[in-house]
Amino acid sequence: MKNKVYDAAILGAGAAGLAAACKLSAEGLSVALIEKNHRVGRKILSTGAGKCNISNRNISADDYICSDKEKLSVIFKKIAPEEVHSFLSSKLGIMFREKEDGRLFPYSMKAETAVFAFERFLKSSKADIFLLKKAVSAKKAGDVFEIETVPVSFGNENKTDSSKKEIIRSRKLIIACGGPSYPRIGGCADGFMLAEKFGHSVLPLKPLLTSFSVKYPDLSNLDGVRVKASISAPFLTEKIEGEILFTAYGISGDAAIDLSFLAFQKNPDSVFIDMMPDKSEKEITDFFSHLKGDIAENLSCSLDRKLVNFIAGFFEHKGKISGETALKSFAGKIKKFEISGLAPMGFEYAMAKTGGVPLREIDADFMSLKQKDLFLVGETLDCAGRSGGYNLHFAFTSAISCAKAAAGP
């Protein structure tokens, strides 16, 4: 065992690492899958709020932020979405549930079903899975990669025992260590450090698909309130529709996550929220003008009470708010509520990142142009998708493509 040389070693058993391990094992290669967490697929379990938006029917390079879109288009032509979907469904046995907008989920709408499918496939393969083992360095000696690993303490991945180093050897090496988002479930920058050792560059990492802190107004009283809303801003070509979750620090929810993608590099300071996007201001005033009594109480029969009281706080009033002018102002605020001093939250809250190893440093099969037989996949690369299954799709595309190339013709 000590002197065994695997056909391929994969660093990281996340979305890309698991898919590569399954595909390589299916091709008959001996595989070592090395993971620092105590179980495989930890981040997959948190995807889509536990539902796992596993892919999308409509994939194009335009759905990604990437410094080399031309290479990305070539990649998506080489490994079409249908091939990825067929791998997930026919090989792994994951039946999809499809949404009208093309988003794909496991039929169960549970991320653990997807992870189970990978685990089951690997159980019946000859892949060796090393858990609680962290790859700390890798180098090539002759034709063989030597990966230095250290054991990790269960429950505290930062606690390693460097006195118990172990070397794992392989002919091909796949770096699938993911990115720095959600450090509490394993997100880290190890993959970039390992890639740099082989001469790769790393474009600056920035959080993406994240919530925003908001300076004005102070939204802490709205903590926990959810609204189906739309967001508009001068730099947006169309409104973003979706749920906004107000938090003690600012805004989260689908719409905020989409804003993070569309506002990337625009650094928006302020945006407008429409809390009743399917009603015009006139429809709102017409409806409520027929009701007698306090406007805030009347509105609380249709809108979240916390939200109504929060908006009422913007009016100078003692006791009841009433009258046509007040109702018009209230409706105006509901339709166009400005929040300003927006700043994207950090990696703790981000589902993805921009930056990483540029695609120009790999070929269309994800092999490194700096080191033969080294492959870089998933979030190690500079390719970040919008919300909607695009990031897992890229992880699976890169894994399948690299495994095909690593297995040879």
Ligand X SMILES: Cc1cc2nc3c(=O)[nH]c(=O)nc-3n(C[C@H](O)[C@H](O)[C@H](O)COP(=O)(O)OP(=O)(O)OC[C@H]3O[C@@H](n4cnc5c(N)ncnc54)[C@H](O)[C@@H]3O)c2cc1C
Decide if residue 353 touches ligand X (CB under 6 A): no
Q: Cβ(353)–Cβ(181) under 8 Å?
A: yes
Beta strands 374-376; 166-175: pairing state: parallel
Structure tokens at 25: 């094992």
DSSP class of residue 216 equals B
SS3 of residue 67 by DSSP: coil
Decide if residue 35 touches ligand X (CB under 6 A): yes
Structure tokens at 323: 């009258």
**Contacts with ligand X in 270-289 (CB under 6 A)?**
none
CB-wise, 52 or 66, nearer to ligand X? 52
Stretch that binds ligand X, among 171-179, 220-228, 281-289, 324-332 (CB under 6 A): 171-179
Of 25, 160, 170, 181, the one binding ligand X by CB under 6 A: 181
CB-wise, 211 or 371, nearer to ligand X? 211
Decide if residue 14 touches ligand X (CB under 6 A): yes
Of 31, 48, 150, 311, the one binding ligand X by CB under 6 A: 48
Decide if residue 188 touches ligand X (CB under 6 A): yes
Of 282, 283, 273, nearest to 334 (Cα)? Answer: 273
Bridge partners of residue 337, in order along the sequence: 273
Distance in angstroms (rounded) separating the CA atoms of residues 325 and 333: 12
For residues 363 to 382, the per-residue mask of contacts with ligand X, x marking binding by CB under 6 A and - elsewhere, is: ---------------xx---
The minimum distance between CB 181 and ligand X, in angstroms, equals: 5
With the CA atoms of 149, 155, 158 and 160 taken in that order, what torsion angle do they form, in degrees rounded to the nearest 10? Answer: -40
| Residue nearest to ligand X according to CB distances in the complex | 14
CB-wise, 16 or 205, nearer to ligand X? 16
Of 135, 137, 158, nearest to 33 (Cα)? Answer: 135
Q: C-alpha angle 312/316/321, rounded to 5°?
A: 55
CB-wise, 34 or 173, nearer to ligand X? 34
Q: Checking phi first, is residue 250 left (phi over 0); if not, alpha (psi -120 to 50) or beta? A: left
**Single-letter residue type at 147:** I
Residue given tokens 């495994």 in the structure block: 403
The minimum distance between CB 408 and ligand X, in angstroms, equals: 23
Decide if residue 15 touches ligand X (CB under 6 A): yes
Of 26, 27, 38, 46, the one binding ligand X by CB under 6 A: 46
The minimum distance between CB 332 and ligand X, in angstroms, equals: 36
Decide if residue 198 touches ligand X (CB under 6 A): no
Number of residues that bind ligand X (CB under 6 A): 37
Of 10, 23, 32, 37, the one binding ligand X by CB under 6 A: 37
Positions of E strands within 187-225: 203-208, 212-213
Q: Which residues make up the interface to ligand X (CB under 6 A)? A: 11-17, 34-37, 42-43, 46-48, 52-53, 134-135, 176-178, 181-182, 186, 188, 190, 351-352, 378-379, 389-392, 395
